[in-house]
Amino acid sequence: MGWLFTQGQTRAEVIDRVTEDWVEESGLRHTCLAKCTRGNVVWSVWAHEVEGGETRTVIHCDLIRPQLRYGWGYKGMSEGMGPAYYTCPLAYLKMATDGINEDWRERVRQYHAKTNQKLQIGDKVTLTGTTLEWVIITSVRPLQGVGNNGRLYRIPRNMLGDKVA
């Protein structure tokens, strides 16, 4: 599925649109149970009524972005599509009982384990998404470290790799 843009639509309006409850013509209800944003990613948990009176609970991921001089738009994905985004709250994994992509769920758990790892001053950690091989932590608030090149860096938690012995 591609991007859907609406002229003049604001970021808040797009978020409201992608998390608004709706009812099919057949009467089946789709209810948003929880929602949050992580940057320009909207995470939501949905209860979808299906034929036979059953309800399926799934996670949705909507990417949002502005289009210059036009308005905000979105691109929707479900957990089954295996989005390449892992900032989904861990609580949502428990809420969505019909998890159909265990590989993606494991990557979400790994993402949170790395970004929430407890670091101490003096720990040596690898980094992802950079040419630096590692840093030695010099401060945990804010998270800073001296790189293998001798320079001091502020470190975003999403770049943390593994601790080095």
* Percentage of residues in the chain having pLDDT higher than 90: 70
Distances (CA, A) of 134 to 9, 16, 154: 43, 41, 13
pLDDT tens sequence across 78-122: 998 888 999 999 999 999 987 679 999 999 999 898 888 889 999
pLDDT band at residue 29 using 50, 70 and 90 as cut-offs: very high
pTM: 0.80
Please report, for the chain, the start and end positions of each structural domain, with discontinuous segments joined by +.
Answer: 4-101, 124-164
Bigger pLDDT: 37 or 69?
A: 37
Write down the residue that tokens 């770049």 correspond to: 159
pLDDT at 98: 78
